[in-house]
């Protein structure tokens, strides 16, 4: 029978035994009564008139107590002054250990800090800016692991000019989803009113590899997506086969009908003006008309 050493048995009992409970420190009476000392320390740290009423206290340890005071500064609404006091063992004098301004439950706080890499958005990168790629970026993979018969032949070494990393399958799927849901996809407003899809357009240049099945690049300089990646079911009004513009036709000059006429009733004022003009006209005699 295998025997267990006493040291090992003691170690096993220590490891598997119940966890120690943390003892709640008792509130020291002298530190709890030092409200005036704590208020004076808060007043010295804060601006004049910025320390309000006493909000309570909490025992931090043996002979260590933190007093809380209301902060009256309008710029720190919901905050409170925390003054920690303590005393030495068997001593009666209470001293101030720390005085800080802490946020309360309803305090106005700044938003959580976000790393700069997570704050970046498309279009933030400008001329001269560098965006390092993490070594463990899931969108990239070593070139020699992404070359197979069904994938892109993008990692073939040609005269030593091959790339160290290529787009991984996860990175390719992420890009395809982003492109398809973006302005170059089928749900874009301009694609809803397009006469036909990009897959039937003569300016559509399909991509290579697996992305060829769904994406291409627009090569129409008059299209809004010129030089951009568009999906095969995208579309716009600059489709190569959209509309056949008719040739300009020559029109003859307008013909005026001088034979027919139309009687238009005149108003009473117009009739009176016409009668007055006739009365004022001089009568024409035979000499004026050229008769002998």
Would you state the pLDDT for residue 216? 95
Task: Kindly tell me the number of DSSP H helices and DSSP E strands found in the chain.
Answer: 8, 9
Does this model's pTM top 0.85? no
Q: What is the pLDDT of residues 16-75, one digit of tens each?
A: 455 566 677 888 899 999 999 999 999 999 988 899 999 999 999 889 999 999 999 888
**Does 90 score more than 90 pLDDT?**
no
- Helices within the chain (DSSP H only): 6-16, 29-32, 35-45, 116-119, 169-181, 189-192, 268-280, 286-289
What's the mean pLDDT in 215-227?
Answer: 92
Mean pLDDT of the chain: 79
pLDDT at residue number 158: 43
pLDDT score of 162? 67
Residue 235: the pLDDT is 92
* Rounded CA separation 74/155 (Å): 62
pLDDT in tens, 121-178: 877 877 777 777 778 888 888 776 555 555 445 444 444 446 778 888 899 999 999 9
Q: What does the pLDDT read at residue 279?
A: 63
CB 63 within 8 A of CB 31: yes
Q: Could you give the CA distance from residue 187 to residue 181 in angstroms, rounded to a whole number?
A: 7
């Amino acid at each position: 029978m295998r025997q267990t050493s006493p040291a090992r048995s003691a170690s096993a009992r220590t490891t598997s035994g119940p966890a120690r409970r943390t003892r709640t420190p008792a509130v020291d009476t002298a530190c709890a009564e030092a409200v005036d000392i704590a208020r004076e320390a808060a007043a010295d740290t804060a601006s004049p008139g910025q320390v309000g009423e006493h909000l309570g206290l909490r025992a931090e340890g043996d002979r260590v107590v933190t007093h809380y005071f209301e902060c009256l500064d309008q710029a720190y609404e919901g905050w409170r002054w925390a003054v920690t006091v303590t005393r030495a063992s068997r001593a009666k004098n209470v001293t101030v250990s720390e005085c800080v301004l802490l946020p309360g439950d309803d305090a106005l706080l700044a938003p959580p800090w976000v790393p700069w890499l997570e704050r970046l958005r498309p279009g933030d990168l400008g001329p001269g800016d560098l965006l390092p790629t993490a070594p463990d970026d899931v969108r990239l993979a070593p070139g020699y692991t992404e070359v197979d018969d069904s994938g892109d032949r993008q990692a073939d070494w040609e005269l030593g000019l091959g790339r160290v990393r290529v787009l991984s399958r996860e990175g390719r799927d992420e890009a395809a989803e982003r492109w398809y849901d973006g302005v170059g996809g089928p749900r874009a407003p301009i694609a809803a009113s397009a006469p036909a899809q990009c897959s039937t357009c003569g300016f559509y240049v399909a991509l290579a590899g697996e992305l060829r099945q769904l994406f291409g690049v627009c090569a129409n300089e008059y299209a809004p997506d010129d030089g951009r990646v568009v999906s095969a079911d995208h579309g716009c009004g600059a489709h190569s086969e959209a509309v056949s513009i008719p040739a300009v036709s020559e029109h003859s000059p307008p013909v005026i009908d001088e034979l027919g006429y139309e009687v238009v009733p005149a108003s009473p004022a117009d009739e009176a003006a016409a009668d007055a003009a006739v009365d004022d006209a001089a009568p024409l005699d035979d000499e004026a008309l050229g008769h002998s």
